[in-house]
Structure 1
Amino acid sequence: MTVIVRDLRPEARADVEAFARVRHLALPYMVSTPDSVAHAIAQAHPDAHYRPLVAELDGEIIGTAQVGIAHDSPEPGQGYLNVYVHPQRTRHGAGSLLVRVAEEHLAAQGATKLFTWVLDEPANRSFAERHGYRPSRSAHFLRLDLANSTLPPLQTPPPGVELRTAADYADDPRPMFALDAEATADEPSDIAVEFTDYEAWIAETWKHPLLDLELTSVVLVDGRPAAFSAAYTDGATRYASAMTGTARAFRGRGLAKLAKNDSLHRARAAGYTEAFTGNDAGNDPMLAINKSFGYEICATEVRHARQLG
């Protein structure tokens, strides 16, 4: 039995479905579908040099890797590779082979530092360290039993504050782009991100197949979008908070919690039964908000980095 690594074939539906299935089995705390996998490939920015890889054992896809350059970071030369192997198909060498091919690709594109997320489990961390990666910051996955939880009651917004949805900006999403760019720039991360390309944001983010505009809540202050909670769904039972943020001028007023509570209520009314989110382990304000909704930590990832050369 020999493992081979090859490029995912986006035109082959079986490849895309297998990629999504392996990722779900290895990381069930994230909402992913074959359509979202295909979208990531089709809409990847050319400067990202995005290359999804699969590891195949006797014709079965048992491993995946998302590989690319952090093109939207102001610091050049940063690459990423996130490798996942089917939990029942480990110890065949798929992970190591995926890492090797990914690193060769990123080095050829000029990457000088590589980042990867690793589940905070002894075997996973040991694997990363054997390949030369060293741990840095951590982040939590959180889960909420949305069908059976007791959410905080919906509140009437104070004077000058209004609740809307992202669907109200379908004809002109630029205000949402500005808000998302400002909030994302302040997210705790090893890789700084700057959204400057509106058309790329439209293609990659606004038109993402998981984004539900009707469930994405937006808080307006005096008519200006000030906070939001973006909703991803699988179209069946799973809902995820893709991003919750507030413009700098309006922080400390509880607007992010207002937006997220509204989105969660909308999601439950729409029939979603399970909610997920993720937080940097040092993001105490957002962790406190999620705890108030009843979210519980279900897994932790640790970011690892390796300097090339």
Structure 2
Amino acid sequence: MNGNLLRQSLRLGLSILITCAIAQHFDRITFAWYPLLAVTFVIDDQDENSLRAARGRILGTITGGLVTFLVHTIMSGWIGILVSLLITIPLLRRLGWSNGLSTAVVVTVMFLSIDAYTKLDWAYVFNRSLDTLVGILVALLVGRLLWPKNRMTRLQAVHEQLHALLHARVKAHSLALQGQAAAPTPIAPALITRLVLEMQSIIAVEQSLGPRHVSRLNRRRWLQCLSLWRCQQVRWMLVERLIERLHKDNGANELPVLGRYLGAEPRSQERLSLESDDAGLSLAQRIALEEQVTRFGRLLNSQQRLDRARGRS
């Protein structure tokens, strides 16, 4: 089972258990549905998303409740629900509270669907908002206590994992092309894509949290790092496929010139140059290898310079 899924399930289950216990213990919470619904809306794998959901949930509950309270005094039934939604949805969007749309819709339908809804008053709206707040607080507390996220540590770990995988592949290809080892197994692009997307997701969350977090990203040059990994990913996969095709089509496991170029330390700034008769390469293969491997090598050089700059920052 996926570790993140298991942790998220435990968070949600424990939050629901605590919320039910609170609702059972305190007679003040008349409808356990509201805090439980708040828990399911708020709990999230990302702590920051939980905070956004919490704000959206409480604002949606209050707005939906107030609009419904006003509308129910002049109309009822599904017409009342329709009019309430026609007012609530544009209002939330206008105020920039789009995160609360789903909860506002649910609250509107529930408020006008309760028994004796004509008795809906300010006290009912206020009490349901407090019930919702209980669920929100429980979800946030559990999220903070159980497996809290450390995004910057995870970002560094993803970067190091990509770095280790990249250089292991380069070394393996270098040795194989020089006849010193067997050709490595084909790479799994999905793993590389998943890691790059995870890095992008973490950086996007950090950027959404305000100037202080953006400044931290800039200080550690993470935006440059992500941009370089995006370029590197494309070039890396192209080189992998070209070398794989070289082994498959030509039956050539050795191409010393290419192997030495890949394994050179420090890396050469010169363009890769292959001879036409090297491993029986066709003109198209030779041009493709020279072009893509040269660009790949330059990206590796750029990455080394960036790593040195990040180490000094």
Query: Would you call these one fold, judging by a TM-score over 0.5?
Result: no
TM-score w.r.t. structure 1 length?
0.21
Q: Which has the higher helix share?
A: 2
Q: Which has the higher strand share?
A: 1
Q: Which has the higher contact order (CA 8 A, sep 6+)?
A: 1
TM-score w.r.t. structure 2 length?
0.20
Q: Which one has the largest radius of gyration? A: 2
